[in-house]
Each structure stands twice: as structure tokens, then as C-alpha cells.
């Protein structure tokens, strides 16, 4: 099935490590590109939050995990060593992985997981990207504690398209469970019910003072007056889109998903799991006699249960006097189901689309796809009782009514070696098999089909994909993430997409370029991308409960004619299933 790439000789791991050590230790700072080497030891570490102590799966004993810092153009080597009982993979969320699909990380898609006592070196280059991304585990729900920031600095002697900030600070949103999330999802998949929700949201791993037994676990952002800070916001929560606001302070959005945007000011922003947003915070010119809460709370429009709580950090001005007993001011977040706010907020994002940072939107389209995304049901196994939405069923989720089944062998290996038989098929439906009123009254039959189906694209195909939300088991927002590519969000709307009228409203000049975008509750988005990256690329909802239920699929992009347009062979240490 694959055009067999010419074999290339890869240096041994020892040689790579020696080489990277040599580069790191001998090249002065003004070098154009470096090889940056990291070791991620996956190990257990006890952490206590909300008076509950849990053994977390961590990287290097840290929660959240360590920062991965590189410059645009750098090569990155991360050796992941698994010291825990669970199988592990790490995904470098938003990194393009041009010709390095073996390093992308989703379990059973681009690799088999790293088993206990094994190691794997992720080897990739940062090409044409700068800004904030994130890394996280990409197997089951292990990313609840395995996550951290990716900070890509501009090339040396390159500047930001805004004034250099006084300081840069990563702000990671996450979720805390008093019990093991692996047990939570295992129980949900067995019973067919919705999973138990988290006990708290966190800012940089800390829930904050609005929860019981948590006042000491509060993130404090200490600032000076009259300065501009760059906050690198990352939503690493498992299942929740979040509103974020700082009392009495305006934030200027300058970047989304490691792509600069036309700056705009907000008091409150919305950030979905997998998304990153860089904002400028201008502090007040003089010492205010107050401290300011930073709040993050859920946006949820569906019918199920969710963690209806609020995490708080504190913005503190370093006051020269010792008297710091000032009143604390709180912002007001939008209502939980503020879908109108969500739609208006996402419409504000526009690419810079200038000579230095162009928006290369495909102006013509080779292939068009229409995918419905939403929930559904699957039958309860014989002689068991299930607790799904109706009549002894299980919750499920699908794209075009196909609930994707992860194979037991990795898709990328199966494809590369031409051994797809019994692993996957290439007949994923381009449109729904049975059209219906997607956002109206749901159909009587909500059962999904199951399969490991993919779409095959020839190299450099320009793709237009309309993602249509459905109202089955409740209309809700779905943050869709595409691996291996950025895409342009050229249109969005509520109700059912109209292929005759809606394309006339598309923005083909300066649409936002992202890797994760929300399909609105009861609505649709249209995206375009160029399939210029050979490999197998996962696309899924970044609410992990929906991913677990099957709201996922894969694109296969064939090799191009030129040597640099072919997927190289797998590295020698690629994990085995």
C-alpha cells in the first residue's frame, strides 16, 4: 500500500546521545540550531491535594511535568524511560512532526506503547513553529498527571511581533482526581455509564483556596507594577473547556496554538483541552492596595455530569511595605453554558497574514469531507447490565457514526510495511451514510457502528473538512485535534451546515491557524489543510471521555515523489507491541 521509501542508515542511540552532548556542550549560544536532549523518567510520586494523597504517574517526579524548551529550527531528542507498571506514550501536541511521524506518540496509531522497563527516544525537529505547545501522555487517561509545557522560542536574533515582555510565565490548567483516573475510565467503559468527574481544577498543579483543605495549595503569580508579562496558557485538563479571567485586568491575546494572531483584548477567555493561548498582561502602573484572583471554571453545554467547580490562583503585586493584608478582588466568569460567549470569542481569532507570518490558506480544494461528530450508543454485551443512556446500552461516540476501535498493532507500522490486513481499512465514510437533521430532534436509532477505518490522501492534497456537531444525547462542544498538521478555521456557524450558502461566508484571507478547534454546540466548523506530511495522523475529540468512547479516526498521507517527501523507516528502538 505504501510507496516503499529508500532505506536510510540511522546512527545508533549511543552515537546520537554522544552527538547531541557534543553539540550542547561545545556550540556557543549564537549557533543557529541546537540538538536539545531530555530524559523523561516515568516514575511514581506521591502528591497530596484536597487532603487526599495519591500516587501519581509523573515525569521525573514532577507534577505538572518539566518544561521542554527549544528554539525554532532545533532538533529535540527526548528519551522516555518507563519505570512504572502502566504502558506509556508521550505526544508532542501541536508539533508538526514533518517526516518524523514515528515520534508523534498516540498509542496504537504511530507506535506501540513503551512497556515497563523499556525506553524510547522521540526524535523530531521544530520546523517553522514558535510559541507555546504542550506534551502529554497519549494512552488511556494517563495525561491527567503526565503533561507539561513546550516552549518554542523564536530563532536567535528574531523578535516577537509585539513588545518583548518583562517576564514569561507558563500557566497550566489541569484536573485533580482524588482517585486514580485509570480506575475511573475503566469502570465507565465496563458499565457503559458516564465516568465520575474530577474533584478539582488546578493552576500549575494547585487547586487553590476555593476548595476544602486547599488554601495552602494556591498558585501565586507575583508581579511588579508597570510591567508587561507574557502568560503562556495551556489547557491540559482531561475533559473540560475552561473560562479564565483575572480580576480588574485586561489580557491581550497574541498567539494561539503556537501561531501568532492579530492582538485583541479580553477580560475573559475560553480555552479548550489541547489548546494554548499566549496573552500579554500589563500590570497596573502603581501598587494597588488589593490582590486579584485568577479564576478558571468550566464551559459545558451537554447533558452529562461535569466538575462544576472553580480553581483560583492569586495575582500578587510585590509591595515594598510588609503590610500585605489587602482585599482580594474576584472576577466574574460567564455562565457555565455560555455558548454565545464561546462563539463570539472564537470569532475574534485572526491570523497575522502578513509578509513575515503569512496565512497559507488553500484557496482551491482537491477533496471535500463532511464529518458528523457526537455521542451515540452501543449495545450492552449479553448477560450483563449496563448503565448507559437508555434501555441497557452503553455510551459511545463517533465520527460519521463510526466509533473508532484502536488496533492491537500500531497503524503506522502496519501501513509502512504493507501489513494492513486485519489491522485497518481505508474506507472511512466521506459523508454520513444516512443524512438526518443533525441539530434537530435526534433520530430514534442512536446506535453507532465500530471499526478501524481510515481516509487515504495522496501527498499535497488540499482538504476541506466540515465538522458538524449533532444533538444526539445532547448538543455539546467538541474540541477536535488533528495530529501532524495545523489547519485553518475558515468558517463556523450554528445549526446544520448549508453547502450552498455557507461557503460564501468563508474567510480565506486571515483565518486562524490552529491544531485544536471547538466544534460549536449545535453547530459546525469548516477547516482547510494541506496534506504535506506523509504518515498516519490521528484526529480526535480532546475531551478524553469522548476519545475513549470512540470519537476518533485516522488520516493516511501517502509519500510524495521527492526524497524529502517520504516517511523514513522506523527507528531501531521503536517499541514493540
Residues 445 and 520 in one domain: yes
What is the CATH number for 376? Answer: 2.60.40.420
Cell readout for 270 is: 475560553
136 occurs within a structural domain: yes
What single DSSP character describes residue 6? Answer: P
- Provide mean pLDDT across the span 359-367: 98
- Whole-angstrom Cα distance, residue 134 to residue 141? 16
pTM summary value: 0.94
Residues 128 and 275 in one domain: no
pLDDT of residue 190: 95
Q: What percent of the chain has pLDDT over 70?
A: 94
571 occurs within a structural domain: no
Residues 102 and 211 in one domain: no
The better pLDDT of the pair 520, 19 is held by 520
- Whole-angstrom Cα distance, residue 241 to residue 173? 10
- Provide mean pLDDT across the span 549-553: 98
- Whole-angstrom Cα distance, residue 230 to residue 167? 6
Asked if residues 259 and 514 have their Cβ atoms less than 8 Å apart, the reply is: yes
20 occurs within a structural domain: no
Please choose, from the candidates 244, 236, 90, the residue with its C-alpha nearest in 3D space to the C-alpha of residue 175: 236
Residue 318: pLDDT band by 50, 70, 90 thresholds? confident
What range defines the domain where residue 311 resides?
162-351
Q: DSSP characters for 381-415?
A: PTT----SSSSSEEEEEEETTEEEPPPSS-HHHHH
Residue 10: pLDDT band by 50, 70, 90 thresholds? very low
Residues 155 and 205 in one domain: no
166 occurs within a structural domain: yes
**Domain stops at, among 320, 351, 382:** 351
300 occurs within a structural domain: yes
Residues 269 and 240 in one domain: yes
pLDDT of residue 378: 97
- Whole-angstrom Cα distance, residue 233 to residue 15? 37
pLDDT of residue 234: 99
- Provide mean pLDDT across the span 255-262: 98
Rg (CA), the chain: 23
Asked if residues 89 and 137 have their Cβ atoms less than 8 Å apart, the reply is: yes
The better pLDDT of the pair 211, 10 is held by 211
- Tens digits of per-residue pLDDT, 99-136? 999 999 999 999 999 999 999 999 999 999 999 999 99
pLDDT of residue 326: 85
What single DSSP character describes residue 88? Answer: B
pLDDT of residue 322: 59
Residue with cell 484526529: 539
Residues 115 and 84 in one domain: yes
Element spanning 342, H or E: helix 339-347
Residues 135 and 201 in one domain: no
**Domain stops at, among 284, 318, 351:** 351
Residues 141 and 184 in one domain: no
Residue 176: pLDDT band by 50, 70, 90 thresholds? very high
Helices (DSSP H) in 254-323: which residue ranges?
Answer: none
Report the number of distinct structural domains present in the chain: 3
- Tens digits of per-residue pLDDT, 271-282? 999 999 999 999
The pLDDT of residue 533 is above 70:
yes
- Provide mean pLDDT across the span 379-408: 94
- Provide mean pLDDT across the span 497-509: 98
- Provide mean pLDDT across the span 287-300: 96
The pLDDT of residue 55 is above 80:
yes
Residues 218 and 295 in one domain: yes
3-state helix, strand, coil in the chain (%, to 5): 10, 40, 50
The pLDDT of residue 31 is above 90:
no
Query: Which residues face 57 on adjacent strands?
Result: 44
205 occurs within a structural domain: yes
- Whole-angstrom Cα distance, residue 61 to residue 205? 13
Q: What percent of the chain has pLDDT over 90?
A: 91
pLDDT of residue 263: 98
Residues 74 and 46 in one domain: yes
pLDDT of residue 16: 39
pLDDT of residue 306: 96
Cell readout for 313 is: 490562583
Average per-residue pLDDT in the chain? Answer: 94
- Tens digits of per-residue pLDDT, 148-165? 999 999 999 999 999 999
Residues 79 and 61 in one domain: yes
Residues 121 and 145 in one domain: yes
**Domain stops at, among 125, 159, 193:** 159
356 occurs within a structural domain: no
570 phi, psi to nearest 5 deg: -70, 150
291 occurs within a structural domain: yes
Min mean pLDDT across 227-236, 383-392, 444-453, 482-491 is at 383-392
What single DSSP character describes residue 344? Answer: H
Cα atoms in the Cβ-side hemisphere of radius 13 Å centred on 83? 14
Q: DSSP characters for 107-131?
A: BTTTBPPBPTT-EEEEEEE--S--E
Amino acid at each position: 500500500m505504501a510507496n516503499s521509501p529508500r532505506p536510510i542508515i540511522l546512527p545508533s542511540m549511543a552515537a546520537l546521545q554522544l552527538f547531541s552532548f557534543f553539540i550542547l556542550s561545545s556550540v556557543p549560544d549564537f549557533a543557529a540550531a541546537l540538538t536539545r536532549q531530555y530524559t523523561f523518567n516515568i516514575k511514581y510520586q506521591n502528591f497530596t491535594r484536597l487532603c487526599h494523597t495519591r500516587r501519581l504517574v509523573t515525569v521525573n517526579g514532577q507534577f505538572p511535568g518539566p518544561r521542554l524548551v527549544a528554539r525554532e529550527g532545533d532538533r529535540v531528542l527526548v528519551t522516555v524511560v518507563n519505570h512504572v507498571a502502566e504502558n506509556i506514550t508521550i505526544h508532542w501536541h501541536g508539533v508538526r512532526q514533518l517526516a518524523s511521524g514515528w515520534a508523534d506518540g498516540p498509542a496504537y496509531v504511530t507506535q506501540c506503547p513503551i512497556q515497563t522497563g523499556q525506553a524510547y527516544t522521540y526524535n523530531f525537529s521544530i520546523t517553522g513553529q514558535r510559541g507555546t505547545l504542550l506534551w502529554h501522555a497519549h494512552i488511556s487517561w494517563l495525561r491527567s498527571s503526565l503533561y507539561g509545557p513546550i516552549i518554542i522560542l523564536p530563532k536567535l536574533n528574531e523578535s516577537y511581533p509585539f513588545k518583548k515582555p518583562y517576564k514569561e510565565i507558563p500557566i497550566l490548567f489541569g484536573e485533580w482526581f482524588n482517585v486514580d483516573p485509570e480506575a475511573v475510565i475503566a469502570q465507565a467503559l465496563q458499565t457503559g455509564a458516564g465516568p465520575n468527574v474530577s474533584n478539582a481544577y488546578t493552576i500549575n498543579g494547585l487547586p487553590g483556596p476555593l476548595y476544602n483543605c486547599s488554601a495552602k495549595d494556591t498558585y501565586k503569580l507575583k508581579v511588579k507594577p508597570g510591567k508587561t508579562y507574557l502568560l503562556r496558557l495551556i489547557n491540559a485538563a482531561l475533559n473540560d473547556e475552561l473560562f479564565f479571567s483575572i480580576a480588574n485586568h485586561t489580557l491581550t491575546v497574541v498567539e494561539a496554538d503556537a501561531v501568532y494572531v492579530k492582538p485583541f483584548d479580553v477580560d475573559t477567555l475560553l480555552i479548550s483541552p489541547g489548546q494554548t493561548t499566549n496573552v500579554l498582561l500589563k500590570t497596573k502602573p502603581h501598587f494597588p492596595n488589593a490582590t486579584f484572583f485568577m479564576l478558571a471554571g468550566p464551559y459545558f453545554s451537554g447533558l452529562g455530569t461535569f466538575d462544576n467547580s472553580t480553581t483560583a490562583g492569586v495575582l500578587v503585586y510585590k509591595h515594598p511595605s510588609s503590610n500585605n493584608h489587602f482585599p482580594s478582588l474576584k472576577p466574574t466568569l460567564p455562565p457555565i453554558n455560555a455558548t454565545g460567549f464561546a462563539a463570539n470569542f472564537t470569532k475574534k481569532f485572526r491570523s497575522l497574514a502578513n509578509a513575515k507570518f503569512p496565512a497559507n490558506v488553500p484557496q482551491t480544494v482537491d477533496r471535500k469531507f463532511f464529518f458528523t461528530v457526537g455521542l451515540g450508543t452501543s449495545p450492552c454485551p449479553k448477560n450483563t447490565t449496563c448503565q448507559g443512556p437508555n434501555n441497557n446500552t452503553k455510551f459511545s461516540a463517533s465520527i460519521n457514526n463510526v466509533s473508532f476501535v484502536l488496533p492491537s498493532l500500531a497503524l503506522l507500522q502496519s501501513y509502512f510495511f504493507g501489513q494492513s490486513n486485519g489491522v485497518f481499512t481505508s474506507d472511512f465514510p466521506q459523508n454520513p451514510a444516512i443524512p438526518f437533521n443533525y441539530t434537530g430532534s435526534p433520530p430514534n436509532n442512536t446506535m453507532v457502528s465500530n471499526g478501524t477505518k481510515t481516509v487515504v490522501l495522496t501527498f499535497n492534497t488540499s482538504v476541506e473538512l466540515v465538522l458538524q456537531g449533532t444533538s444526539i444525547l445532547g448538543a455539546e462542544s467538541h474540541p477536535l485535534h488533528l495530529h501532524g498538521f495545523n489547519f485553518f478555521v475558515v468558517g463556523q456557524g450554528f445549526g446544520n451546515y448549508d453547502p450552498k450558502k455557507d461557503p460564501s461566508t468563508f474567510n480565506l484571507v486571515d483565518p486562524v491557524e490552529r491544531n485544536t478547534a471547538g466544534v460549536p454546540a449545535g453547530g459546525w466548523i469548516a477547516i482547510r489543510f494541506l496534506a504535506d506530511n506523509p504518515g498516519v495522523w490521528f484526529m480526535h475529540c480532546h475531551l478524553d471521555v469522548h476519545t475513549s468512547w470512540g470519537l476518533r479516526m485516522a488520516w493516511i498521507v501517502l509519500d510524495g515523489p521527492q526524497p524529502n517527501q517520504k516517511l523514513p523507516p522506523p527507528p531501531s528502538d521503536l517499541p514493540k507491541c
